[in-house]
Amino acid sequence: MSKPYNGYTWQQRHAHSQDRHRLEASGDTSILAYLHSGKPCELCGDPKPAASSWHAEDYSLSFTWEPPGTFIVCKTCHGRLHKRFNQPWDWRLYLLHLRAGGYGHEFTQRNSLPQRRTWMDTLAKGEAVVLPTIRKRDLTGQEWWQGLTLEPESLIAAWARPRPFRSRPDTEAYRAALQAVAPSERERALLQFHACQPAAAPPCGSLPRGPSAPTAPEPPILNMGGWPTDWENMWPGFLMRETMARPSGCPSSPKAGSRRIVNLNGS
Ligand SMILES: [Zn+2]
């Protein structure tokens, strides 16, 4: 678990492993009921894998220790799932093995390396490979593992996350918070100014720091795109430009129409 996955850093992933160890050490494992259920591997269906582990597709908060965020997987399926970016044809062949009803550990037991290489070459040519049925499986083709991306950029890209890393509060929560804060006229004007220029106002760049890792391919500020709508819902008339006034001390806005990446370090 020392690598990024689905746009989450290894630190973000590791934090949940630590949570699990903490829960198990405390004896408070009710939240881990699914992981302790003894269910088969979610990929290959092996009812009694030699060794099992868990795999998460979604490390956003709030984290869930059950599908569709976390899945019981055997060690073989888990290893191949993470290696799929480096060995895409091997992964495609492995998927055929799973669809044919094979258990994870049977993949190399039943199919020699030369045979697998021949099949992978066939797949790479765009030709079909049909594996003999090992055992019947009721699959819809829509299982979460059947359509996993092979795009390496997904390992680090924020767009690969199933959800924002931190969920955005809803409009009611913002409204309540604003009422509690009771901003002054100057503060209101400052907020108003930035809300109207979500693609350019530097201070806003620090707000989406959580949802967007520094390695995200998109300017983090793009995540702000939906905010003005929220503000308008909370504060009718908020975005009326004729009422805007930039308070003193507010950074100058860039040229109209320009979009630049905000430096999160502020330098
Ligand atoms: Zn498996």
Taking residues 200-205, report their average pLDDT.
42
Residue 110 Cα to ligand 1 middle (Å): 15
The rounded Å distance from CA 258 to ligand 1 centre is: 50
CA of 98 from ligand 1 middle (Å) equals: 8
Q: Please give the distance, rounded to the nearest whole angstrom, from the Cα atom of residue 211 to the centre of ligand 1.
A: 31
pLDDT at position 143 over 60: yes
The conformational region for residue 45 under phi > 0 = left, psi -120 to 50 = alpha, else beta, is: left
Whether the per-residue pLDDT at 2 is higher than 90: the answer is: no
Please give the distance, rounded to the nearest whole angstrom, from the Cα atom of residue 52 to the centre of ligand 1: 8
Q: Give the pLDDT confidence score for residue 57 in this predicted structure.
A: 95
Of residues 191 and 69, which shows the higher confidence score? Answer: 69
Structure token pair of residue 176: 């309540």
User: Which burial class, exposed, middle or buried, applies to 211 when counting CB atoms under 10 A from its CB (0-12, 13-18, 19+)?
Assistant: buried
Burial class (CB in 10 A: 0-12, 13-18, 19+), 138: exposed
C-alpha distances in angstroms, 136 versus 48, 98, 102, 132? 17, 10, 9, 11
Q: What is the model's pLDDT at position 4?
A: 94
Tell how far the Cα of 34 is from the centroid of ligand 1, in angstroms.
16
Ligand 1 centroid, distance to 151 Cα (angstroms):
22
pLDDT of 197 reads 59
Q: How far is the CA of 213 from the centre of ligand 1 (A)?
A: 31
Q: Give me ligand 1 centre to Cα 148, in Å.
A: 15
CA of 49 to the centre of ligand 1 (A): 7
- pLDDT at residue 215, as a whole number: 44
Q: How far is the CA of 136 from the centre of ligand 1 (A)?
A: 15
Report for 88-92, 158-162, 215-219: range of highest mean pLDDT: 88-92
Whether residue 254 contacts residue 197, with contact meaning beta carbons closer than 8 Å, is answered with no
How many whole angstroms from 73 Cα to the centroid of ligand 1? 5
Ligand 1 centre and the CA of 78: distance in Å? 7
pTM: 0.64
**CA nearest neighbour of 6 among 188, 152, 210:** 152
238 compared with 204, residue with greater pLDDT: 238
